[in-house]
Amino acid sequence: MPTNLPPEYFAVDKRYRAATTTEEKIETLEELLGTIPKHKGTDHLRADLRRKLSKFKDSMQKGKAGSRQVSAFSIKTEGAGQAAVVGPANSGKSSLVAALTNAQPEVAEYPFSTWNPTPGMMLIENVQVQLIDTPPLNRDFVEPDLIDMIRRADLVLLTIDIQASPFDQLEETVAFLESHRIIPLHRQDGFPQDLRHTFLPFLILVNKVDDENLDEDYKVFTELLEDPWHTVPVSATTGHNIEQFKWTVFDLLEIIRVYSQAPGKEPDLTSPFVMRRGGTIEEFAAQVHQEIASDLKTSRVWGSADFDGQMVGRDYVLQDGDVVELRAK
């Protein structure tokens, strides 16, 4: 065993040896890995601990399959869209989700503190978007259900730490996802267009940009990127750029808000109907009520129309913030 291990390693190792359940073994092994410095002298020890961790996780997965429990990764989409928050250990995913939503994921300084996904709702003005904090992506072991959950998402929020080799984190995480056929949308031309591949928009959250010096590091980072990534510098600690991040998510989800106005009344601007960008009057009417769509007589639009209250046809393409009055036969 390496002789230069920190004191906290031995304290955690003592808890690992005393652990009696699989969950406790997994938790302490993950914490152990976080205490070991990375250098050549610890390679064998880290590899041995990762093998043990993989075996315990395999055992737990088989136990779950045998008990026919519903997977923790089967999370129903709520709100205007679902974004999977992914990334390497200690990138600050959980802190960001906790700061942005009503969720309370476990936040710790050691890696792999997140074991199960944690959903929470993020408010963007008057629209809610679901964020899901996920376990760190790990080449040694990955839950198949986690990969399936990311595939079902509308958007991938890839979180990296500006203070810890951000290029390596980005390249390794993207390579990992691509190895599981989850492909950034802007790279789709380089992959077969078949059902085995899932193409999703990616937003790179460059986290822990906590001061002006790190903001300069972010600028250098983006200047050196070769791919046309969407990026936002953020800080879960200071709240830096949180509003810009929210509206970037809104834009990448390609959604718009449309408000209904009953004839002779004021519109309710607190409860929009959420539609995909490019949505038409006919689609809006169907969302309000199917009978209105089938019996639609006239429709008027305030906002994107040439003048307020302009009468438009069923194929009129709506814009974010439009107010629509529908009249049925």
Q: What is the pLDDT along the chain (329 residues), one digit of tens a residue?
A: 555 788 888 888 888 888 777 888 888 888 888 888 877 778 788 888 888 888 887 777 666 655 556 678 889 999 999 999 999 988 999 999 999 998 777 665 555 555 789 999 999 999 999 999 998 887 777 788 899 999 999 999 999 999 999 999 999 999 999 999 999 999 998 888 877 889 999 999 999 999 888 889 999 999 999 999 999 999 989 989 999 999 999 999 999 999 999 888 999 898 999 999 999 999 999 999 888 888 899 999 999 999 999 999 999 999 999 999 999 88
Cα separation values, 14 from 29, 40, 109, Å = 11, 24, 19
Cα separation values, 66 from 50, 52, 61, 63, 149, Å = 24, 21, 9, 5, 21
Label the pairing between strands 127-133 and 82-86: parallel
- Phi–psi pair at 232, nearest 5 degrees: -140, 130
Q: What is the DSSP letter of 109?
A: S
Cα separation values, 92 from 49, 97, 192, 230, 249, Å = 23, 9, 33, 19, 18
CATH T-level topology, domain 255-328 = Ubiquitin-like (UB roll) (3.10.20)
> Which pair of structure tokens corresponds to residue 180?
């599981």
Q: Containing H/E element for 179?
A: helix 166-179
Which among 24, 15, 111 is positioned nearest to 59, based on CA atoms?
Answer: 24
pLDDT at 72: 82
- Phi–psi pair at 41, nearest 5 degrees: -70, -15
Helix, strand, coil percentages for the chain (3-state, nearest 5): 40, 20, 40
CA atoms within 13 A on the CB side of 260: 16
- Provide the residue type at 236 as one letter: A
Lateral strand order in the sheet of 273-276: 273-276, 255-260, 322-328, 296-302, 310-311
The whole model's pTM is what?
0.76
The CATH number corresponding to 82-252 among 3.30.565.10, 3.40.50.300, 3.40.630.30, 3.40.50.1220 equals 3.40.50.300
Which among 52, 82, 29, 314 is positioned nearest to 201, based on CA atoms?
Answer: 82
**How many whole angstroms separate alpha carbon 225 and alpha carbon 129?**
28
Domains of the chain, by residue range, sit at: 7-67, 82-252, 255-328
- Cβ neighbors of 183 (< 8 A, separation 6 or more) are 177, 191, 197, 198, 199, 200
Spatial contact of 67 and 114, defined as CB atoms under 8 Å apart: no
Give the other-Cβ count within 10 Å of 144's Cβ. Answer: 11
- Please, which residues bridge with residue 159 across strands? 205
> Which pair of structure tokens corresponds to residue 205?
């959250």
- Phi–psi pair at 250, nearest 5 degrees: -55, -45
